[in-house]
Every structure is written in C-alpha cells, then in structure tokens.
C-alpha cells in the first residue's frame, strides 16, 4: 500500500489508524479463518504449479503483516515465498509471526524485487500507489508466469482521497478500468482475465468519504507459459 511512498514513509504511521492494526493482528490469530482472498489465490497458484511441474517462487507485494503465510501450509513443498512492503510496522509484525519467512522493505514504484518470481501476488495495494504504472511494470517484469492483482475495477477509471479520522494524512483510492489494466499488461507480454472476488463477491462496497468501489481479481498470464 502506498500514497506518497516515493518519500519512503511508513504507510501505517501516515495513512492508517490503530483500529486497522488491531484488526490486522486479529486476523493473524489461529481462531480466525484465513482471509478469503488468500484462499482464492492459493487455488489459482495450485493450478499454476501443477502445470509447471516444479516448485514455484511467489513474491507478495504489499504483504502487510503476512496474512498470506497462513495459507501456505498446503503449498509449502511447492512454493518459495517472499513478502515485500513499505511499512516497517507491518514487516516487523510479519517477521515476528513467521520467522522462517523472508520479509523485505521495498518501494515497488522505484524498484523491482531483488529476486524474480514465477508468480507475483498483490492485494488491496495498487489502488493506493501514485505511480501505479511504474509499480505494475516492476511487478510484471519480475514475474515469469503470472501476476494475481486484487484491486478495484470498473468500466471507467476514478481517483478519490480517503482519510481515516485518526490518521495523519489522506490516501489515494483508485478505481482502474478493466481496459486500461488489460492493455497495460498486454504491452508487457501478459494476457489478462478478470475473475470475481470471493471475499466480496464483487458487489460494490461503500468505503466511506463518499467512495464506493468494487473488487475483482485480474489474472495476468505471461504469453507463452
């Protein structure tokens, strides 16, 4: 997640509040079921490694506190996971919770991940990035098979600012058009299909501050794989 991340600011300290952090920590607890989008992503990844016939490397861009690690048990023999975020607040929690996993600070607008991946996943992050084209380019160029992008989509692009009451600053919430994302990916050699988001059933959600958005998952597959 990012807004103004070119300044290497901690996302949480600038744009979120303590209630969001409390909820994120709660969702890591074993008594809470894994997040629906994580389960949905593993279903897609499982199909990918079945087709590849070998273990796959996965880069998690905007990994937050490590939610995706909760669903890796069923994929461990098949997946080498690496998490990236621009918030040291979230990364420190993820490292403490999953000490055997690799979590790294990265500003995806400025740099590609150090290690290329077969699959890159990014959920609820790209819509907050000011330079989304640079970020998505870095993700696509560092992905050898596919990118799973969970974000807000519609037939037209839109941009709004949203500020939580206790946050220091407002942050950007984009809506991407289906066409602009598919065209951008096509230019870098990826074909895109959109699937319904299992967590929200792709029903429009009111977020507050007069902002309503609808989530889908864009599955971007590298041509020839």
Nearest to 149 by CA among 97, 99, 208, 108: 108
Residue by residue, DSSP assigns 133-197 as HHHHHHHHHTEEEEEEEEEEEESS-EEEEE--TT-SS-EEEEEEEHHHHHHHHHHTTEEEEEEE-
Q: How many CA atoms lie within 13 A of 102 on its CB side?
A: 13
In a structure prediction context, what are the per-residue pLDDT tens digits for the chain, which is 225 residues long?
433 333 446 867 676 778 888 989 999 998 999 999 999 999 998 888 888 888 899 999 999 999 999 998 777 667 899 999 999 999 999 999 999 999 999 999 999 999 999 999 999 999 999 999 999 999 999 999 999 999 999 999 999 998 777 767 888 999 999 999 999 999 999 999 999 999 999 999 998 878 899 999 999 999 987
Burial of 215 (0-12, 13-18, 19+ CB in 10 A): buried
Burial of 208 (0-12, 13-18, 19+ CB in 10 A): exposed
| Longest CA pairwise span in the chain (Å) | 49
Which value, to the nearest 10 degrees, does the dihedral of the CA atoms of residues 131, 132, 137, 140 take? 150
CB 221 within 8 A of CB 187: no
CB 3 within 8 A of CB 129: yes
- pTM (predicted TM-score): 0.91
Residues near 50 by beta carbon (within 8 Å), at least 6 away in sequence: none
CATH number of the domain within which 189 lies: 3.40.50.150
User: What are the start-end ranges of the H helices in the chain?
Assistant: 11-15, 18-28, 36-52, 88-97, 132-141, 178-187
Q: How many domains does the structure of the chain reveal?
A: 1
To which H or E segment does residue 118 belong?
strand 117-123
Residue 86's domain comprises 5-222
Q: How many CB atoms lie within 10 A of CB 133?
A: 11
């Amino acid at each position: 997640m990012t807004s103004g991340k070119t300044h290497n600011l901690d996302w949480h300290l600038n744009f979120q509040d303590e209630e969001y952090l409390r909820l994120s920590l709660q969702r890591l607890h074993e008594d809470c079921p894994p997040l629906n989008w994580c389960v949905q992503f593993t279903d897609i990844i499982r199909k990918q490694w079945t087709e590849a016939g070998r273990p796959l490397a996965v880069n998690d861009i905007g990994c937050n506190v490590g939610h995706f690690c909760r669903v890796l048990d069923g994929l461990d023999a098949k997946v080498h996971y690496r998490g990236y975020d621009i918030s040291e607040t979230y990364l420190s929690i993820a490292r403490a919770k999953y000490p055997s996993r690799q979590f790294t600070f990265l500003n995806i607008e400025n740099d590609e991940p150090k290690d290329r991946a077969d699959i890159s996943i990014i959920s609820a992050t790209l819509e907050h990035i000011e330079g989304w084209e640079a970020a998505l380019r870095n993700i696509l160029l560092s992905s050898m098979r596919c990118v799973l992008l969970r974000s807000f989509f519609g037939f037209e692009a839109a941009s709004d600012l949203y500020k939580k009451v206790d946050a220091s600053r407002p942050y950007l919430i984009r809506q991407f058009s289906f066409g602009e994302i598919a065209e951008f990916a096509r230019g870098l050699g990826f074909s895109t299909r959109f699937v319904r988001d299992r967590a929200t059933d792709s029903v429009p959600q009111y977020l507050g501050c007069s902002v309503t958005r609808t989530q889908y998952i864009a599955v971007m597959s590298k041509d020839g794989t």
